[in-house]
Amino acid sequence: MNRIEYKKKYFLFLRDRRRRILKRITRNAGGRDMTPSPTSEAVEDEQLISSSTMEKVAATKNYIKNHYNKRLV
Protein backbone atom coordinates (compact mmCIF):
# COMPACT_ATOMS: atom_id res chain seq x y z
CA MET A 1 0.00 0.00 0.00
CA ASN A 2 1.54 3.29 -1.04
CA ARG A 3 1.14 6.62 0.74
CA ILE A 4 -1.74 7.87 -1.40
CA GLU A 5 -3.78 4.72 -0.84
CA TYR A 6 -3.05 4.86 2.86
CA LYS A 7 -4.14 8.51 3.13
CA LYS A 8 -7.31 7.79 1.15
CA LYS A 9 -8.15 4.83 3.38
CA TYR A 10 -7.50 6.90 6.51
CA PHE A 11 -9.64 9.76 5.19
CA LEU A 12 -12.52 7.37 4.48
CA PHE A 13 -12.13 5.89 7.96
CA LEU A 14 -12.39 9.34 9.57
CA ARG A 15 -15.37 10.27 7.41
CA ASP A 16 -17.23 7.09 8.35
CA ARG A 17 -16.36 7.58 12.00
CA ARG A 18 -17.80 11.11 11.94
CA ARG A 19 -20.97 9.81 10.31
CA ARG A 20 -21.39 7.10 12.94
CA ILE A 21 -20.91 9.59 15.77
CA LEU A 22 -23.38 12.08 14.29
CA LYS A 23 -25.92 9.32 13.72
CA ARG A 24 -25.56 8.19 17.34
CA ILE A 25 -25.97 11.76 18.63
CA THR A 26 -29.11 12.40 16.58
CA ARG A 27 -30.55 9.01 17.56
CA ASN A 28 -29.97 9.74 21.27
CA ALA A 29 -31.41 13.23 20.93
CA GLY A 30 -34.70 11.85 19.69
CA GLY A 31 -35.12 14.74 17.28
CA ARG A 32 -35.10 17.43 19.95
CA ASP A 33 -32.80 20.43 19.99
CA MET A 34 -29.73 19.70 22.12
CA THR A 35 -28.79 23.33 22.75
CA PRO A 36 -29.86 24.58 26.18
CA SER A 37 -32.16 27.57 26.32
CA PRO A 38 -30.65 30.61 28.04
CA THR A 39 -31.96 31.44 31.48
CA SER A 40 -32.64 34.96 32.68
CA GLU A 41 -29.56 34.82 34.93
CA ALA A 42 -27.35 33.87 32.01
CA VAL A 43 -28.74 36.71 29.91
CA GLU A 44 -28.15 39.21 32.73
CA ASP A 45 -24.60 37.93 33.26
CA GLU A 46 -23.96 38.18 29.53
CA GLN A 47 -25.10 41.80 29.52
CA LEU A 48 -22.81 42.63 32.44
CA ILE A 49 -19.89 40.89 30.82
CA SER A 50 -20.63 42.55 27.53
CA SER A 51 -20.56 46.06 28.99
CA SER A 52 -17.31 45.48 30.87
CA THR A 53 -15.82 43.76 27.86
CA MET A 54 -16.82 46.62 25.59
CA GLU A 55 -15.10 49.07 27.95
CA LYS A 56 -11.93 46.97 27.84
CA VAL A 57 -12.11 46.73 24.06
CA ALA A 58 -12.49 50.50 23.75
CA ALA A 59 -9.54 51.10 26.07
CA THR A 60 -7.42 48.61 24.14
CA LYS A 61 -8.32 50.22 20.82
CA ASN A 62 -7.32 53.63 22.17
CA TYR A 63 -4.03 52.24 23.47
CA ILE A 64 -3.22 50.60 20.13
CA LYS A 65 -4.22 53.72 18.21
CA ASN A 66 -2.04 55.95 20.40
CA HIS A 67 0.88 53.54 20.19
CA TYR A 68 0.55 53.34 16.40
CA ASN A 69 0.41 57.13 16.08
CA LYS A 70 3.53 57.51 18.26
CA ARG A 71 5.42 55.05 16.07
CA LEU A 72 4.52 56.98 12.91
CA VAL A 73 5.76 60.33 14.24
Of residues 45 and 50, more confidence is placed in 50
Q: State the pLDDT confidence band at 59, using cuts at 50, 70 and 90.
A: very high
Q: What is the pLDDT of residues 7-39, one digit of tens each?
A: 899 989 999 998 888 888 887 766 555 555 555
Is 70 exceeded by the pLDDT of residue 53? yes
Residue by residue, DSSP assigns 10-67 as HHHHHHHHHHHHHHHHHHHHTTS--SPPPPHHHHHHHHHHHHHHHHHHHHHHHHHHHH
| Region 44-69 average pLDDT | 81
- pTM for the full predicted model: 0.36
